[in-house]
Amino acid sequence: MSEEEEDIILSELDDDDLVAQMFDDLYDGLKEEIEEGVNILLERGWTPYKILTEALVGGMKIVGDDFRDGILFVPEVLLAANAMKGGMYILKPLLAETGAPRMGKMVIGTVKGDIHDIGKNLVSMMMEGAGFEVVDLGINNAVEAYLEALEAEEPDILGMSALLTTTMPYMKVVIDTMIEQGKRDDFIVLVGGAPLNEEFGRAIGADAYCRDAAVAVETAKTLVSRKHNQGATV
Protein backbone atom coordinates (compact mmCIF):
# COMPACT_ATOMS: atom_id res chain seq x y z
CA MET A 1 0.00 0.00 0.00
CA SER A 2 1.34 3.47 -0.83
CA GLU A 3 1.74 6.21 1.84
CA GLU A 4 -0.90 8.20 0.02
CA GLU A 5 -3.40 5.35 0.45
CA GLU A 6 -2.76 5.09 4.20
CA ASP A 7 -4.33 8.54 4.70
CA ILE A 8 -7.56 7.65 2.94
CA ILE A 9 -10.68 8.08 5.07
CA LEU A 10 -13.26 5.73 3.60
CA SER A 11 -16.29 7.68 4.79
CA GLU A 12 -15.13 10.77 2.87
CA LEU A 13 -15.08 8.97 -0.50
CA ASP A 14 -18.06 9.10 -2.86
CA ASP A 15 -19.69 5.76 -3.72
CA ASP A 16 -17.64 5.04 -6.84
CA ASP A 17 -14.33 5.87 -5.16
CA LEU A 18 -15.30 3.90 -2.08
CA VAL A 19 -16.06 0.79 -4.14
CA ALA A 20 -12.78 1.24 -6.04
CA GLN A 21 -10.96 1.55 -2.70
CA MET A 22 -12.72 -1.59 -1.44
CA PHE A 23 -11.47 -3.46 -4.51
CA ASP A 24 -7.92 -2.39 -3.48
CA ASP A 25 -8.53 -3.31 0.15
CA LEU A 26 -9.89 -6.72 -0.81
CA TYR A 27 -6.87 -7.24 -3.01
CA ASP A 28 -4.64 -6.36 -0.04
CA GLY A 29 -6.64 -8.64 2.29
CA LEU A 30 -7.62 -5.79 4.63
CA LYS A 31 -10.56 -7.30 6.49
CA GLU A 32 -11.27 -4.35 8.84
CA GLU A 33 -11.32 -1.90 5.95
CA ILE A 34 -13.70 -4.15 4.02
CA GLU A 35 -16.00 -4.35 7.04
CA GLU A 36 -15.87 -0.57 7.39
CA GLY A 37 -16.63 -0.10 3.69
CA VAL A 38 -19.61 -2.46 3.89
CA ASN A 39 -20.99 -0.56 6.90
CA ILE A 40 -20.58 2.79 5.15
CA LEU A 41 -22.41 1.56 2.05
CA LEU A 42 -25.22 0.20 4.24
CA GLU A 43 -25.50 3.59 5.97
CA ARG A 44 -25.75 5.19 2.52
CA GLY A 45 -28.75 3.03 1.68
CA TRP A 46 -27.12 0.40 -0.52
CA THR A 47 -28.99 -2.90 -0.34
CA PRO A 48 -27.04 -5.87 1.07
CA TYR A 49 -27.39 -7.59 -2.32
CA LYS A 50 -25.90 -4.63 -4.22
CA ILE A 51 -22.96 -4.47 -1.81
CA LEU A 52 -22.37 -8.21 -2.17
CA THR A 53 -22.45 -8.28 -5.94
CA GLU A 54 -20.87 -4.95 -6.81
CA ALA A 55 -18.31 -4.32 -4.06
CA LEU A 56 -17.35 -7.80 -2.82
CA VAL A 57 -17.85 -10.19 -5.76
CA GLY A 58 -16.59 -7.49 -8.14
CA GLY A 59 -13.40 -7.14 -6.09
CA MET A 60 -12.91 -10.89 -5.87
CA LYS A 61 -13.03 -11.11 -9.66
CA ILE A 62 -9.86 -8.98 -9.84
CA VAL A 63 -8.18 -11.17 -7.24
CA GLY A 64 -9.16 -14.26 -9.24
CA ASP A 65 -7.80 -12.86 -12.50
CA ASP A 66 -4.44 -12.01 -10.93
CA PHE A 67 -4.28 -15.40 -9.21
CA ARG A 68 -4.81 -17.03 -12.61
CA ASP A 69 -2.10 -14.86 -14.16
CA GLY A 70 0.45 -15.69 -11.47
CA ILE A 71 0.50 -12.16 -10.02
CA LEU A 72 -1.07 -13.23 -6.71
CA PHE A 73 -0.30 -16.43 -4.82
CA VAL A 74 -2.22 -18.67 -2.41
CA PRO A 75 -1.41 -16.76 0.85
CA GLU A 76 -2.55 -13.45 -0.66
CA VAL A 77 -5.70 -15.03 -2.08
CA LEU A 78 -6.47 -16.52 1.34
CA LEU A 79 -6.17 -13.08 2.93
CA ALA A 80 -8.48 -11.63 0.28
CA ALA A 81 -10.94 -14.47 0.89
CA ASN A 82 -10.81 -13.78 4.63
CA ALA A 83 -11.49 -10.08 4.04
CA MET A 84 -14.42 -10.97 1.80
CA LYS A 85 -15.82 -13.28 4.48
CA GLY A 86 -15.65 -10.36 6.97
CA GLY A 87 -17.92 -8.36 4.69
CA MET A 88 -20.21 -11.29 4.01
CA TYR A 89 -20.60 -11.91 7.76
CA ILE A 90 -22.09 -8.43 8.19
CA LEU A 91 -24.44 -8.86 5.23
CA LYS A 92 -25.67 -12.37 6.01
CA PRO A 93 -28.28 -11.50 8.69
CA LEU A 94 -29.46 -8.53 6.62
CA LEU A 95 -30.06 -10.71 3.58
CA ALA A 96 -32.00 -13.14 5.76
CA GLU A 97 -34.12 -10.30 7.18
CA THR A 98 -36.18 -9.96 4.05
CA GLY A 99 -39.06 -11.67 5.83
CA ALA A 100 -39.61 -13.87 2.81
CA PRO A 101 -42.00 -16.80 3.35
CA ARG A 102 -40.38 -20.22 3.85
CA MET A 103 -39.69 -21.49 0.35
CA GLY A 104 -38.16 -24.90 0.99
CA LYS A 105 -35.00 -26.53 2.24
CA MET A 106 -31.58 -27.06 0.65
CA VAL A 107 -28.56 -29.13 1.61
CA ILE A 108 -25.41 -27.73 -0.01
CA GLY A 109 -21.72 -28.53 0.05
CA THR A 110 -18.50 -28.31 -1.93
CA VAL A 111 -17.49 -31.66 -3.43
CA LYS A 112 -14.70 -33.99 -2.37
CA GLY A 113 -11.20 -32.71 -3.07
CA ASP A 114 -12.32 -29.09 -3.27
CA ILE A 115 -11.91 -26.53 -0.50
CA HIS A 116 -13.29 -23.45 -2.27
CA ASP A 117 -16.27 -22.21 -0.27
CA ILE A 118 -16.79 -18.52 -0.97
CA GLY A 119 -19.22 -19.06 -3.85
CA LYS A 120 -21.09 -21.76 -1.95
CA ASN A 121 -21.36 -19.49 1.09
CA LEU A 122 -22.71 -16.74 -1.10
CA VAL A 123 -25.32 -19.08 -2.56
CA SER A 124 -26.28 -20.19 0.98
CA MET A 125 -26.68 -16.59 2.12
CA MET A 126 -28.78 -15.62 -0.86
CA MET A 127 -30.96 -18.70 -0.51
CA GLU A 128 -31.53 -17.93 3.19
CA GLY A 129 -32.30 -14.36 2.24
CA ALA A 130 -34.91 -15.62 -0.20
CA GLY A 131 -36.60 -17.71 2.50
CA PHE A 132 -34.97 -21.13 2.10
CA GLU A 133 -33.69 -23.12 5.04
CA VAL A 134 -30.08 -24.05 4.25
CA VAL A 135 -28.02 -26.88 5.72
CA ASP A 136 -24.41 -26.18 4.81
CA LEU A 137 -22.17 -29.26 4.76
CA GLY A 138 -19.01 -27.20 4.23
CA ILE A 139 -16.17 -28.30 1.97
CA ASN A 140 -14.61 -31.55 0.72
CA ASN A 141 -17.76 -33.68 0.86
CA ALA A 142 -17.66 -37.34 -0.08
CA VAL A 143 -20.76 -38.97 -1.54
CA GLU A 144 -21.54 -40.54 1.85
CA ALA A 145 -21.74 -37.11 3.50
CA TYR A 146 -24.25 -35.87 0.93
CA LEU A 147 -26.38 -39.00 1.18
CA GLU A 148 -26.42 -38.98 4.99
CA ALA A 149 -27.52 -35.35 4.96
CA LEU A 150 -30.27 -36.03 2.42
CA GLU A 151 -31.55 -38.83 4.62
CA ALA A 152 -31.37 -36.83 7.84
CA GLU A 153 -32.53 -33.43 6.58
CA GLU A 154 -35.07 -34.42 3.90
CA PRO A 155 -34.50 -31.24 1.87
CA ASP A 156 -36.18 -30.26 -1.40
CA ILE A 157 -32.83 -29.46 -3.00
CA LEU A 158 -29.32 -30.84 -3.09
CA GLY A 159 -26.80 -28.15 -4.09
CA MET A 160 -23.22 -28.99 -5.06
CA SER A 161 -20.37 -26.61 -5.71
CA ALA A 162 -17.00 -27.23 -7.44
CA LEU A 163 -14.35 -24.72 -8.47
CA LEU A 164 -11.78 -27.07 -9.94
CA THR A 165 -11.92 -28.88 -13.26
CA THR A 166 -10.49 -31.87 -11.40
CA THR A 167 -13.29 -31.99 -8.81
CA MET A 168 -16.34 -31.15 -10.92
CA PRO A 169 -16.69 -34.76 -12.24
CA TYR A 170 -17.32 -35.84 -8.65
CA MET A 171 -20.79 -34.32 -8.91
CA LYS A 172 -21.65 -37.15 -11.31
CA VAL A 173 -20.44 -39.71 -8.76
CA VAL A 174 -22.95 -38.27 -6.27
CA ILE A 175 -25.82 -38.21 -8.77
CA ASP A 176 -25.04 -41.73 -10.04
CA THR A 177 -25.04 -43.03 -6.47
CA MET A 178 -28.40 -41.36 -5.88
CA ILE A 179 -29.72 -43.13 -8.99
CA GLU A 180 -28.29 -46.48 -7.84
CA GLN A 181 -30.04 -46.07 -4.51
CA GLY A 182 -33.34 -45.05 -6.12
CA LYS A 183 -33.21 -41.60 -4.52
CA ARG A 184 -32.47 -39.35 -7.47
CA ASP A 185 -36.08 -38.34 -8.14
CA ASP A 186 -36.70 -37.42 -4.49
CA PHE A 187 -34.57 -34.27 -4.78
CA ILE A 188 -33.94 -31.32 -7.05
CA VAL A 189 -30.23 -31.29 -7.84
CA LEU A 190 -28.62 -27.90 -8.54
CA VAL A 191 -24.95 -27.51 -9.38
CA GLY A 192 -22.68 -24.51 -9.68
CA GLY A 193 -19.11 -23.25 -9.72
CA ALA A 194 -16.97 -21.23 -12.11
CA PRO A 195 -15.74 -24.08 -14.39
CA LEU A 196 -19.22 -25.58 -14.95
CA ASN A 197 -21.71 -24.77 -17.67
CA GLU A 198 -25.21 -25.78 -18.70
CA GLU A 199 -23.99 -28.58 -20.93
CA PHE A 200 -22.03 -30.11 -18.06
CA GLY A 201 -25.05 -29.83 -15.76
CA ARG A 202 -27.19 -31.69 -18.30
CA ALA A 203 -24.51 -34.31 -18.99
CA ILE A 204 -24.18 -35.33 -15.33
CA GLY A 205 -27.96 -35.47 -14.81
CA ALA A 206 -28.45 -32.39 -12.62
CA ASP A 207 -31.78 -30.55 -12.79
CA ALA A 208 -30.01 -27.26 -13.44
CA TYR A 209 -26.67 -25.50 -13.58
CA CYS A 210 -26.71 -22.13 -11.77
CA ARG A 211 -24.35 -19.48 -13.10
CA ASP A 212 -24.42 -17.43 -9.91
CA ALA A 213 -26.18 -17.06 -6.58
CA ALA A 214 -29.04 -15.00 -7.98
CA VAL A 215 -29.70 -17.63 -10.66
CA ALA A 216 -29.55 -20.32 -7.97
CA VAL A 217 -32.31 -18.55 -6.02
CA GLU A 218 -34.54 -18.06 -9.05
CA THR A 219 -34.00 -21.64 -10.26
CA ALA A 220 -34.67 -23.04 -6.79
CA LYS A 221 -37.91 -21.06 -6.50
CA THR A 222 -39.14 -22.22 -9.90
CA LEU A 223 -38.25 -25.88 -9.47
CA VAL A 224 -39.52 -26.14 -5.88
CA SER A 225 -42.88 -24.59 -6.75
CA ARG A 226 -43.13 -26.87 -9.81
CA LYS A 227 -42.36 -29.90 -7.60
CA HIS A 228 -44.98 -28.87 -5.04
CA ASN A 229 -47.58 -28.28 -7.76
CA GLN A 230 -46.87 -31.69 -9.27
CA GLY A 231 -47.35 -33.20 -5.81
CA ALA A 232 -50.75 -31.51 -5.53
CA THR A 233 -52.06 -32.85 -8.83
CA VAL A 234 -50.87 -36.45 -8.49
CB 36 within 8 A of CB 69: no
Q: Is the separation of the CB atoms in 161 and 193 below 8 Å?
A: yes
**CB 201, min distance to ligand B1M, A:** 10
Read off the amino acid at residue 183: K
- H or E stretch covering 6: helix 3-6
Contact by Cβ (8 Å): 147, 140: no
Q: Which amino acid is at 159?
A: G
Q: Which is nearer to ligand B1M, 10 or 81 (CB)?
A: 81
CB of 187 to ligand B1M, least distance (A): 12
**Least distance from ligand B1M to the Cβ atom of residue 55, Å:** 12
Judge whether 203 and 211 are in contact, CB under 8 Å. no
Is the Cβ of residue 45 or residue 75 nearer to ligand B1M in the bound state? 75
Residues of this chain that bind ligand B1M (CB under 6 A): 57, 60, 63-64, 67-68, 74, 77-78, 81, 108, 113-120, 122-123, 159, 161, 163-165, 190-195, 210, 212-213, 216
Other Cβ atoms less than 10 A from the Cβ of 179: the count is 12
As measured in angstroms, the least distance from the Cβ of 47 to ligand B1M is: 16
Q: What share of the chain is helix, strand, coil (3-state, %, to 5)?
A: 60, 10, 30
> Quick one: 36 or 114, whose CB is closer to ligand B1M?
114
Give min distance, CB of 65 to ligand B1M, in A: 6
Question: Please, which residue, 8 or 135, has the CB nearer to ligand B1M?
Answer: 135
8 Å CB contact between 128 and 134: yes
Residue with smaller CB distance to ligand B1M, 13 or 145:
145
Q: What is the Cα Rg of the chain in Å?
A: 19
Looking at beta carbons only, is 68 or 102 nearer to ligand B1M?
68
CB of 212 to ligand B1M, least distance (A): 3
Q: Among candidates 141, 135, 134, which has minimal Cα distance to 111?
A: 141
Considering the complex, state which of residue 8 and residue 58 has its C-beta at the smaller distance from ligand B1M.
58
- Report, in Å, the least distance between residue 191 CB and ligand B1M: 6
